[in-house]
Structure 1
Amino acid sequence: MTNPGFLMFATYLIGLREGLEATLVVSILVAFLVKSDRRDRLPQVWGGVAAAVALSVFFGWLLEYTSTTLLADSADRELFEAVTSVAAVAFVTAMIFWMRRAARSLSGELRGKLTEALAVGSLAVALMAFLAVVREGLETALIFYSAVQGADVDGGPLYALIGGVVTSVAIGYLLYASAVRINLTRFFTWTGALLILVAAGIFKYGTHDFQEAGVLPGIKRVAYDISGVLDPSTWYGTLLSGMFNITASSTVLEVVAWVAYAVPVLILFLLPGRRASGTTPATVGATTGPATATRSA
């Protein structure tokens, strides 16, 4: 069973990271329209954003409905949850590395696409805004579902996700208004590394679901059991599970899956040469547009 501490930490981080990426995209679009004196197209941008959010919420509901209602057999449900876990890990890994690689040119690409959309018409503007945001929304829904699947918890993880999104919107607004400056290169590096650990935890749970479904062997081969020492209900148990996904017991294959994913992906992500090659806008201003990225020291 997924530890509530891990869920609260993971879902808040998911909302914060994905929400800030979407917020930065929207800020770039809005800033460009304001600077270009095309405020008349702002309703189309917000309409596209609203449609992307609605589709993302529906997708999240569809995943939950499929698991709890359409799949009556427990083995099929375990298999569905395992597949969605692997898909979520693939998406979050691709997103982290894509953001680092594409951040340098993201602002210019978005402004170029919006310029083309403005020449076509209002529907094209709405569609462009929709496509720019919907990927983040669908990723958020999939990763959130994979993080909380099968957990016997209340609405806490959902509130944590919403809290992360609200925090990201607040940060994005302050950046847009030039009220604060944040080294987003360093921010995305740290949150990217933490998301890799979250993804490793999801991959571990997905491996367990594959074992429960009978696809993978070793469900009874326990690598360790420290439940007598590590009580998950204590504050330190919650902290260890929330930050590092250290649980009281795991199968051998779960441990192998966690290490096989987390170690090489973290090394690749944190290599100094690779990290320095990507930048992210540091601030977003209503009059000047996205500012030049600041590199992490």
Structure 2
Amino acid sequence: MFGNYLIGLREGLEASLVVCILVAYLVKTDNRRRLRPLWTGVALAVALSLAFGALLQFGSSTLTFQAKEALGGSLSILSVALVTWMVFWMRRTARHLKSELQGKLDAALAVGTGALVITSFFAVGREGLETSLFIWTAVQATGDGVRPLIGALLGLVTSVVLGWLFYKGALKINLASFFRWTGAMLVIVAAGVLSYGVHDLQEADWLPGLHTLAFDISATIPPDSWYGTLLKGVFNFQPDPTVLQTLVWAAYLVPVMVFFLLPERPTRLVAKPAESRPAAR
């Protein structure tokens, strides 16, 4: 439940901040009449995200076991790739996200109402589709469809509240630090989702080694115990992973975490050459 709460909080807060920046900029520039098309784009993005999540859930339920495992494994790997790209992108752009969005909004205002709807739709829709995909794969990994969804919903609700407080100026935090440390925790969650995806592909006979276990500590950490459930829910921990699962988990987690936590290199400013002046006569 905590892992999915973190996903909902992190992804939802990104979308909430995007909406807050867009709304605040329209209000500040005396463009309140343009708020309706902005909210139209946001509503369409939310509807698309919900429809995508429903399609994943109900569409996969009609598949055979092998096809369902192949689909789940493939989407797990895709979601990990998207989340990895997202955490690195936000780490790099968190400081100037506001100016970037305002620039896009200026261009949309110059074109017209339709462009404003499209701008807000794509700004929020990308986050929504990533959230739907990652939450779905994380829920499949835990094998419990109720508590993970509750955790994700609570995370989304929390992100909306935080976004509203940011807009009102009642809450100020270092967003760069926030996204850095929640991003590090998401990398750990993503490693578990990736391991689960590999196991799915092994069950679908797409990858070998299903019965070659790296270790089995089920007697020490029973999967149905409260601490086994906690570890599975937070880190997608499995007490009896295959060798391939373990190798892929380590090959992803170690380098990605190291590169993510490395300090960012300061941007180098290239000095402009001094303009040559005509010689005095």
TM-score (norm 2): 0.90
Counterpart AA for 1:227: S
User: Would you say 1:51 and 2:44 are equivalent positions?
Assistant: yes
1:126 to 92, 110, 117: 117
Counterpart AA for 2:38: V
2:89 to 98, 103, 128: 98
1:273 partner SS: coil
- Between 84-93 and 180-189, report the one with greater CA deviation: 180-189
Match of 2:137 in 1: 146
Structure 2: how far apart are the matches of 1:145 and 1:154? 9
Structure 2: how far apart are the matches of 1:151 and 1:269? 26
User: Would you say 1:88 and 2:79 are equivalent positions?
Assistant: yes
C-alpha displacement of 1:154 = 4.2
1:18 to 8, 11, 17: 11
CA-based RMSD: 1.6
C-alpha displacement of 1:172 = 1.0
2:53 to 60, 70, 87: 60
1:40 to 22, 33, 48: 33
User: Would you say 1:178 and 2:164 are equivalent positions?
Assistant: no
Match of 2:208 in 1: 217
Deviations 1:21-55 (A, max 9, x none): 00010011011011001111111111110000000
Structure 2: how far apart are the matches of 1:199 and 1:127? 30
- Between 246-255 and 163-172, report the one with greater CA deviation: 246-255
User: Would you say 1:269 and 2:260 are equivalent positions?
Assistant: yes
Instruction: Check 1:244–1:157 CA distance in 2 against 1; reply closer, same or farther (3 A cut).
Output: closer
Deviations 1:210-247 (A, max 9, x none): 11011111101111111111123334333433444432
Q: Give matches, 1:102-113, under 5 Å.
A: 102-113=93-104
Structure 2: how far apart are the matches of 1:142 and 1:175? 27
Deviations 1:83-103 (A, max 9, x none): 101100110000011111122
- Between 21-30 and 152-161, report the one with greater CA deviation: 152-161
Residues 6 and 182, structure 2, Cα contact 8 Å, conserved in 1: yes
Counterpart AA for 1:113: K
Percentage of pairs with the same residue: 54
Deviations 1:80-122 (A, max 9, x none): 1111011001100000111111223321121111111112211
Unaligned runs of 5+ in 1: 1-7, 278-297
Structure 2: how far apart are the matches of 1:239 and 1:81? 22
2:154 to 148, 156, 163: 163
Structure 2: how far apart are the matches of 1:151 and 1:273? 34
1:149 partner SS: helix
Structure with larger Rg: 2
Q: How many residues align?
A: 267
1:12 partner SS: helix
Unaligned runs of 5+ in 2: 268-281
Instruction: Check 1:97–1:154 CA distance in 2 against 1; reply closer, same or farther (3 A cut).
Output: closer
1:230 partner SS: coil
Counterpart AA for 1:270: L
Instruction: Check 1:207–1:94 CA distance in 2 against 1; reply closer, same or farther (3 A cut).
Output: same
TM-score (norm 1): 0.86
Structure 1: how far apart are the matches of 2:191 and 2:145? 23
